[in-house]
């Protein structure tokens, strides 16, 4: 139990995240996998859906590594990262090697809305992901699920999915979707006070070293970083473009130094 004087986290800094997890551990929770989860026990499933930034996910994975293991769900079919690329695969492998589980973040909207099609597609993506991360993929999380998928109680492609009632509607479920705990902070939930089983979902993009009041800035920052990476990669693959980029950088630097020059 936290002492009455302890500072309970309510923000979205990395320190807040670390304190949040610590509060669960102090309260006697055990962080478990979907396979181990028992709704009658003081169990918490710690889950991260990676919609944007793998490197932000690694930041969270490093924070957790000292106390808990969590589930990191990665998209295969996204424009925001590519887990087959050298740099992104390196990040996923680091998260895996910290002792966390890699699951499939499955975007059903990419496929025809038919049960047999979705089963086959999820199986196909799981097999690909398993070959990339060299580990069995035992759980699936839907990306922006339709209501029909939220009501699906059976497994998908032979794997448990995170919205099955035993993980979702039958227990307390907390999510920082869109950058806020809109249904109450996890530590304020009745289930937490009762030490009842919970599933805690966070999206690493929203958690930062320092407080960022405008949450949407975080997406802009991510996109700026991704754009810089792609420009560097384009330069590495095309010499004339590298020259053009260097000239643009030089011109920008020169403009900056002129702007900073004292008035005569």
Shortest distance, CB of residue 49 to Zn ion, whole angstroms? 4
158: CB partners within 8 A, 6+ apart: 123
Q: Report the Cα 173 to chain-centroid distance in Å.
A: 16
Shortest distance, CB of residue 165 to Zn ion, whole angstroms? 20
Of residues 49 and 125, the one with the C-beta less far from Zn ion: 49
Which of 20-28, 50-58, 185-193, 235-243 is the region at the interface with Zn ion (rule: CB under 5 A)? Answer: 50-58
Nearest residue (beta carbon) to Zn ion: 143
Contacting residue, 19, 32, 37, 51, with Zn ion by CB under 5 A: 51
Which of 3-11, 44-52, 121-129, 157-165 is the region at the interface with Zn ion (rule: CB under 5 A)? Answer: 44-52
Shortest distance, CB of residue 216 to Zn ion, whole angstroms? 17
Task: Provide the 8-state DSSP code for 178.
Answer: G
Of residues 51 and 64, the one with the C-beta less far from Zn ion: 51
Q: Report the 3 state secondary structure along 182-250.
A: CCCCHHHCHHHHCCCCEEEEECHHHCECCCCCCCCHHHHHHHHHHHHHHHHHHHHHCHHHHHHHHHHHH
Of residues 50 and 196, the one with the C-beta less far from Zn ion: 50
48 binds Zn ion (CB under 5 A): no
Shortest distance, CB of residue 145 to Zn ion, whole angstroms? 9
Main-chain phi, psi angles of 215, to 5 degrees:
-65, -30
How many CB atoms are located within 10 Å of the residue 159 CB?
A: 18
Of residues 128 and 242, the one with the C-beta less far from Zn ion: 128
Shortest distance, CB of residue 163 to Zn ion, whole angstroms? 12
Of residues 51 and 125, the one with the C-beta less far from Zn ion: 51
56: nearest Cα among 198, 177, 205: 205
Is residue 45 within 8 Å of 33, Cβ to Cβ? Answer: yes
Of residues 23 and 51, the one with the C-beta less far from Zn ion: 51
Looking only at residues 119 through 158 of this chain, which bind Zn ion when binding is defined by CB under 5 A? 143
Looking only at residues 196 through 255 of this chain, which bind Zn ion when binding is defined by CB under 5 A? none
Contacting residue, 23, 49, 64, 101, with Zn ion by CB under 5 A: 49
Shortest distance, CB of residue 86 to Zn ion, whole angstroms? 24
Tell me the number of residues near Zn ion by CB under 5 A: 3
17: nearest Cα among 78, 66, 79, 89: 66
Shortest distance, CB of residue 203 to Zn ion, whole angstroms? 7
C-alpha angle with apex 35: 31 to 37, nearest 5 degrees?
A: 45
How many CB atoms are located within 10 Å of the residue 21 CB?
A: 24
Residues in the site for Zn ion, rule: CB under 5 A?
49, 51, 143
């Amino acid at each position: 139990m936290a002492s009455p004087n302890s500072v309970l986290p309510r923000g979205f800094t990395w320190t807040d995240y670390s304190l949040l997890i610590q509060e669960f551990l102090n309260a006697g929770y055990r962080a478990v996998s979907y396979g181990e989860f028992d709704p009658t026990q003081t169990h918490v499933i710690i889950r991260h859906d990676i919609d944007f930034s793998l490197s932000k996910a690694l930041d969270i994975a490093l924070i957790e590594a000292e106390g808990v293991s969590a589930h990191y769900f990665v998209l295969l079919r996204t424009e925001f990262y590519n887990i087959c690329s050298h740099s992104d695969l390196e990040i996923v492998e680091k998260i895996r090697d910290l002792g966390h589980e890699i699951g499939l973040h499955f975007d059903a909207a990419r496929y025809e809305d038919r049960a047999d099609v979705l089963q086959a597609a999820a199986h196909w993506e799981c097999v690909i992901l398993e070959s990339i991360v060299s580990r069995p993929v035992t759980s699936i999380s839907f990306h922006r699920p339709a209501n029909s998928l939220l009501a699906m109680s059976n497994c998908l492609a032979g794997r448990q999915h995170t919205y099955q009632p035993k993980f979702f509607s039958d227990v307390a479920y907390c999510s920082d979707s869109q950058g806020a705990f809109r249904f109450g902070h996890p530590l304020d939930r009745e289930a937490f006070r009762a030490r009842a089983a919970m599933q805690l979902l966070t999206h690493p993009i929203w958690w930062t070293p320092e407080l960022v009041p405008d949450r949407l800035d975080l997406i802009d920052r991510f996109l700026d970083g991704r754009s810089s990476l792609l420009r560097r990669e384009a330069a590495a693959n095309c010499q004339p473009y590298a020259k053009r980029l260097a000239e643009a950088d030089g011109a920008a630097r020169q403009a900056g130094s002129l702007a900073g020059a004292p008035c005569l």
